[in-house]
A and B are shown apart, each in its own frame.
Chain A
Amino acid sequence: MASITIQSITKTFGTVPVLNDIDLSIADGEFVVLVGPSGCGKSTLLRMIAGLEDITAGEIRIDDRRINEVAPKDRDIAMVFQSYALYPHMTVADNMSYSLKLRKTAREKITDAIGAAAGKLGLDPLLERRPKALSGGQRQRVAMGRAIVRHPKAFLFDEPLSNLDARLREQMRAEIKRLHKSIGATSVYVTHDQIEAMTLADRIVAMHGGIIQQVGNPLDLYDRPANLFVAGFIGSPAMNFVEGHCRAGAIETDDGSKIAVPDGVHLKDGQAVTVGVRPEHVRIVAGPEAGSYAARVDLVEPTGFGTIVHVRLLGQDLKIYTLERGAAEVGQPLHIALDGARLHIFDRETTNRIG
């Protein structure tokens, strides 16, 4: 097991910059998730750790050893690919033992390692099959098995669950988490799915446009997103955003409504801000009260557990997440209130969080 240090990493493909001055330290045994929209450079960063892409500038260290020039096979890492990349002409057992054989591991040791990994992943009955004869979920397990037999210093995952259906993805997610708890190896996991990031990570690295937007534990990112991008990316249904200006100690939205400035937030008069509020922090209230708004229900989306109510308010579509069933019907007028303590205020110029 090992720590990974990424220092001022930059990557360009030809003249196209993909990663820009990335700094990140991953502690021994930590599970770090790189999350961001497609094309933000997460796979590229992971592949640089694996040694599959050259490093344009900067340095990567595994345990204090600089690995920029070290061949992938000598970095002592294992990688799980989105496509699983299983060798189609080998059985499951051969797929898992391939790396050990190449490393001239003793035969008994290989048998033991395969037995242990197969037991952990429930692969025992499949060992003599070829990948073609396996379901997607089983292939995924084999890919994991191939990674764990080697006891590498670190695991790298590139969207390993993206090719599975929703049910299986949920199941494998829990399994990966359990596996990490039992093995405890340093892991770097790439995904575009914020739920996967939230549920798996010790620490999330949110990326966008080749830049790290925020690093922190999942609830930190949820409760105190550092900028508009993170606020909008983390959380489902997504955060509501309302634009306005600071006028006379309150935030005046573009349609003339007023939102009280939360305690401890200092705004300059005339400052352009975006107010973010999560759908679960918008309440439906019985009647008009101080700071409530009148709105009309636009759309109702029941999700089973809760209900997403869309209303027209403050000049835009605002989502409310409520656990009460039948709280609203389309066309119905109602009053809503924002949870003042849970507003997120962002500077519209810099997109950074103010409070």
Chain B
Amino acid sequence: MQKIATRLEPWLYSAPVLILIVAIMLVPLALGVSYAFRDIRLLNPFSGAFVGFKHFRELAGDGAFRGALVNTLWWTFSSVILQFLFGLILALLLNRPFKGRALAQALCFLPWAVPSFLSGLDWAWMFNPVVGPIPHWLYALGILSEPSNILSDPETAMWGPIVANVWWGIPFFAITMLAALQAIPKDLYEAAEIDGAGPIERFRSITVPFLAPTMAISILLRTVWIANFADLIIVMTNGGPADRTQIVASYIFTQAFRRLDFGYASAIALVLLVLLLAYSMLIVVLRQTMLTRH
């Protein structure tokens, strides 16, 4: 009796935390996963039965889903790369002292505070030739043959949400990169200057190695997040025209809330989850091998 009590003691101490973790994280996840194997349609009161892999077989033959997968890659990587590049440039600019830097920093981080739906609407209007200036500018620059709405052209529609997403996400990278930049000791740059390193060489041999871990982790997090991020697309194009801006996350949304087929939507979500997990694992393994090689 005594023995059992001492055995149990550590579990009793950690029980509240374990219960919380299970309740908050695992239960909803398990429920969501279980939907993927059931027939759940809100408009059909007799649905709810277990259907096994039916949804997944359906998915395998769903052309719209495959298109959405390709669009997701396109959407995610161009958004992340552009956000990262502009964020890094902004951070480098804000890292050097100049008059009014505090104000400039505050202004640059403003987009982050704008709700995503609002910024989606905002950009949709800006791309609209009736009320927005952008089509006219693009026309004036010779990029468009007439001031039309790029959101309604299947060839260019994806660039609309990508531009909005880049604008909206630059501050995230700027903030993280700026914090990492400011942690680099200044005298390293001075030592390198005396050693004969020019600005580009200093960037390559000091800034980049110092920023690399932050870059890697923020790009990883951001990629997963953007792949899941459908707000801007739903507000700006709703997946159209002709599904050309439909990404997996917005396709889930469409299935769940337009067709009210929660079972099928859950199955898609599960596939997305597995893909993103695989991606994350790949990055973690890559990072580990890189670390051990050093």
Interface residues of A (CB under 8 A from B): 50-52, 71-73, 77-79, 81, 83, 85, 87-90, 98-99, 102-103, 146
Contact = CB atoms under 8 A, between A and B. Distances in A.
Contacts of B197: 73, 98, 102
A339 B193 CA distance: 53
Given A78-B194, A87-B205, A102-B195, 5 more contacts: A51-B193, A79-B191, A89-B210, A102-B196, A102-B201
A73 B190 contact: no
B195 A98 contact: yes
B196 A73 contact: yes
Contacts of B154: none
Contacts of A81: 187, 190-191
B115 interface: no
A72 B187 contact: no
A73 to B, nearest CB: 4
Contacts, number: 55
Contacts of A78: 194
Nearest to B205: A87
A103 B188 contact: no
B185 interface: yes
Contacts of B194: 50-52, 72-73, 77-79, 99
A87 B210 CA distance: 10
Closest 10 CB pairs of A and B: A99-B195, A89-B209, A85-B191, A73-B196, A102-B196, A85-B187, A72-B194, A81-B187, A72-B193, A52-B190
Interface string B190-212: 11111111000100011001100
B195 A73 contact: yes
A85 B188 contact: yes
Contact of A103 (B185, B191, B193, B196): B196
A39 to B, nearest CB: 18
Contacts of A103: 196
A282 B194 CA distance: 49
Contacts of A85: 185, 187-188, 190-191
A71 B192 CA distance: 12
Given A73-B196, A102-B195, A103-B196, A83 B187 contact: yes
A88 B185 CA distance: 11
A146 B188 CA distance: 13
Contacts of A88: 209
Contacts of A98: 192, 195, 197, 205
Contacts of A90: 205
Nearest to A79: B194
Nearest to B190: A52
Contacts of B187: 81, 83, 85
Contacts of A77: 194
Contacts of B185: 83, 85
B196 A52 contact: no
Interface in B66-123: none
A87 B209 CA distance: 10
Contacts of A50: 190, 194
Contacts of A51: 193-194
B140 to A, nearest CB: 44
Nearest to A90: B205
B193 A52 contact: yes
Contacts of B191: 79, 81, 85, 87, 146
Contacts of A83: 185, 187
B248 to A, nearest CB: 38
Contacts of A72: 190, 193-194
A99 B185 CA distance: 19
B290 to A, nearest CB: 13
B183 to A, nearest CB: 12
22 contacts: A52-B194, A72-B193, A72-B194, A73-B193, A73-B194, A73-B196, A79-B190, A79-B191, A81-B187, A83-B185, A83-B187, A85-B185, A85-B187, A85-B191, A87-B188, A89-B205, A90-B205, A99-B195, A102-B201, A103-B196, A146-B191, A146-B195
